[in-house]
A and B are shown apart, each in its own frame.
Chain A
């Protein structure tokens, strides 16, 4: 039978330093799988951008100095892989911002998840969309129905604002040993012991905290 030592090494972060590529991969995977926008990994993005620029310069130098084309092409591959992760990470976030435009500007908590550039993007998108709705439809409706955020003046909540569906089920893996509450406060107190490597399909809401603190990964 296969031994556990060849079960796959790259998925578990080693106890020594984890490469930024591994961290970027984790951030990208989590962002793709999560129903809401996750907190922006500003430091990681800056570091990755720095390393990418450095390697781009190195590759130019290698080509000029006539370094073995094989070696150059391998460095290019590593660069391409890192760039793909970074770009896809940012793209997935932009799409989520477009999807939940008004929602991500509604509260300080939601806005704090965005980078400064994403905030600018979100505000411009929201302004453009609001203006478009007003000019094409809302101004022509009776007074009580002219809000972009609410169906009518008697709505208690912003019911025209799409929100992330946090009750969706996600696949995830535990990275350490901890106890997880399977339900929210006021419901059942059933808990589950999570051990490193355990796989679950589970309600996003109850693992949200564990993912943000790094105890679990979305897969």
Chain B
């Protein structure tokens, strides 16, 4: 994975996300989900916490990564979370499509959770194709909304976001950083003027962006 060779790439290269999609998914895999085991197993005493014991037909909450591992070995079925249903997602999509609407409440890691369930537990989700199509549509509408309106501006120091999800934050981050830094600098002309007159004496900012080839004119 490229980002492990260059773990700092996301900080300096303005076009690369800070976290790779794999890393965003990794973080989401700690979310608790409900499964129904079909076997007996002793409690698991992980560094991440204690889970079990596992008893056939008795639902239990475990981290997503553990649930997927058990499902892949045929040891359990998933109980899809309440928000991942045709009814709920249809309501969410309609609300997202309202002009000028805010972001609807969805789990912070909804994209990653949905994706892992579609990949590994499609038979446990009623109307899976419909659900998947709704999630894709919701992602599109929200991403489009995000490009136009990040949130509520608080002076030039901050923007408050509501109900933006992990994947969406990571995607919009490089653009948001550049835009917000530009707004902030504009708002403080005396800082900019100082930099111009003392430019040869200012501490440099470390910058290892790859050199872009100059455009032919």
Contact = CB atoms under 8 A, between A and B. Distances in A.
Interface string B60-80: 000101100110010100000
Interface in B156-189: 157-162, 164, 166, 169, 173, 176-177, 180-181, 184
A137 interface: no
Contact of B154 (A77, A151, A192): A192
A32 B7 CA distance: 8
Contact of B47 (A19, A29, A88): A19
Contacts of A82: 47-48
Given A2-B106, A9-B32, A155 B47 contact: no
A206 B155 CA distance: 13
B206 to A, nearest CB: 3
Contact of B166 (A20, A95, A219): A219
A25 B29 CA distance: 12
B201 A157 contact: yes
Nearest to A154: B201
A10 interface: yes
A40 interface: no
A183 interface: yes
Contact of A8 (B8, B11, B108, B180): B108
B158 A202 contact: yes
A163 B108 contact: no
Interface stretch (B38-46, B114-122, B123-131): B38-46
B107 A7 contact: yes
B82 interface: yes
A151 B200 contact: yes
A182 interface: yes
B194 to A, nearest CB: 13
Contact of A88 (B7, B32, B184, B208): B7
Given A7-B107, A8-B109, A182 B150 contact: no
Interface of A: 1-4, 6-11, 19-22, 25, 29, 32-33, 35, 48, 51-52, 55, 70-71, 73-75, 77-79, 81-82, 84, 88, 91-92, 95-96, 99-100, 151, 155-165, 167-169, 171, 182-183, 188, 190, 192, 198-203, 206, 219
5 contacts: A48-B47, A77-B66, A163-B205, A171-B161, A219-B166
Interface in B7-30: 7-8, 10-11, 18-19, 26-27, 29-30
A33 B155 contact: no
B204 interface: yes
Contact of A92 (B7, B107, B155, B207): B7
A134 B29 CA distance: 49
Nearest to A18: B49
A170 to B, nearest CB: 8
Contact of A190 (B154, B162, B181): B154
A201 B171 CA distance: 13
Contacts of B197: none
Contacts of B73: 70
Nearest to A70: B73
Contacts of B4: 88, 91
A20 B46 CA distance: 11
B160 A1 contact: no
Contacts of A91: 4, 7
A159 B200 contact: yes
Contacts of A6: 81-83, 107
